[in-house]
Chains A and B, each alone.
Chain A
Amino acid sequence: MMRILAFCCERGPGEAIDLAGEKRMRYPADLTLIQVPCAGRVDVAHLLKAFREGADAVVLVGCLEGNCHHIYGNIEGRKKVDRAKQILDEVGLGGQRLEMFHVASNQPFRIAELAAEMASRVERLGPNPLAVKE
């Protein structure tokens, strides 16, 4: 079983997750959700630590651009994802294992879509070698 970790803003994406649950939508059990107050709260170090602890893929899920409760937390989050991708490429783990998604509260289907997208990337890239070592 692969491990996909999602840091989700508790606002738009958090509500989308609730809605997905209410509607009994299915998403892969490989997805572990961590709610954060805002996508901008997640740091590059948090994203890297997730990989060091064995995540096969990590996503940061923020609100749609222009819809951030904290004005531009989602844009800050995306910049941190870009920086972490660069580091993952440099260390040889592959920046493709990390992605930023923007999800609105009325888009519960996007949660399943992003999980499927990351699962297909992990299938292509193989498991995180640090998870295999455990």
Chain B
Amino acid sequence: MIIGEQKRLEEISGMLDGHRGILIAGCRSCVAICLAGGEKEVAVMAESLRLISSLRGKGWEIEEAMVERQCEKEWVAELRPRIEGKDCVLSLACGVGAQTVQAMYPRVRVLPGLNTSNMGAPEESGIFVEKCGGCGDCVLHLTGGICPIARCAKSLLNGPCGGSQGGKCEVSPDTPCAWEEIYHSLESLGRLDLLEEPIPPKSWLPARDGGPRRIVRKEAVLTEEQKRLKGGKA
């Protein structure tokens, strides 16, 4: 899932200056799980901004809306009646969601209420940890199911480095050394032999270095005729 966290109220308040009709749009998917943009977070954001508006005479008219997945056009289309007449949308979704809303409603300014951080998972209640670097060339089969790209501070493919102390990374005492975890995972799998073969230098072409990525599943792409039959909705 995508992990994000809310921007500070002062920053959001600054972005909203000069607007009047504001729709706060949340998302019931990833950002609801990481407690940044779900229904409750939207309600708290709305109340916080209403307080700021009343205290500082901003004159904001704030409404709240929820979308099942703000990254999908089909769901974002449901926002149309709520967005009409608004000056701006404060998106409490990830950057993908905010961009989808902006693309579908080009006449309304979409402002990001969250800082989108990473692809990760809840470690325990209230703690979310990055797990995947999205490198486009997965090596989990060689590393005991632990991603060295995202979870090693140096993204080493043949670790650990000298900064691994007592199972922790030198970057932070809260960060486990990914390569220590990889060793223990392979040990419990009975596959320490995988460590004997060095992993060769990685091609970063499928990663972000090759520019914005695009994946095409030909069998799912609609033909022109199918698009026409569906009324232009691809």
| SS class, residues of chain A in contact with chain B | helix
A residues in contact (CB < 8 Å) with B: 43-45, 48-49, 51-52, 83, 87-88, 90-93, 129-130, 133
Asked, given contacts A92-B55, A129-B55, whether A49 binds B9 with beta carbons under 8 Å apart, the answer is no
Q: CA of A48 to CA of B62 in the docked complex: distance in angstroms?
A: 15
Chain B residues near A51 (CB-CB < 8 A): 51
Chain B residues near A90 (CB-CB < 8 A): 8-10, 48
Could you say which interface size class chain B belongs to? 10 to 19
* Contacts A/B (CB < 8 Å), 9 sampled: A44-B44, A45-B43, A45-B46, A48-B51, A51-B51, A52-B47, A91-B9, A129-B55, A130-B51
User: Which residues 52-72 in B have Cβ within 8 Å of A in the complex?
Assistant: 52, 54-55
Q: CA of A91 to CA of B56 in the docked complex: distance in angstroms?
A: 9
Q: CA of A93 to CA of B53 in the docked complex: distance in angstroms?
A: 12
Q: CA of A133 to CA of B57 in the docked complex: distance in angstroms?
A: 11
| SS class, residues of chain B in contact with chain A | helix
B2-15 interface code vs A (CB 8 A; 1 in, 0 out): 00000011100000
B residues in contact (CB < 8 Å) with A: 8-10, 40, 43-44, 46-48, 50-52, 54-55
A55 nearest CB across to chain B (Å) = 12
Chain A residues near B51 (CB-CB < 8 A): 48, 51-52, 87-88, 91, 93, 130
Quick check: A48 and B48 within 8 Å, CB to CB? Answer: yes
Q: CA of A44 to CA of B106 in the docked complex: distance in angstroms?
A: 33
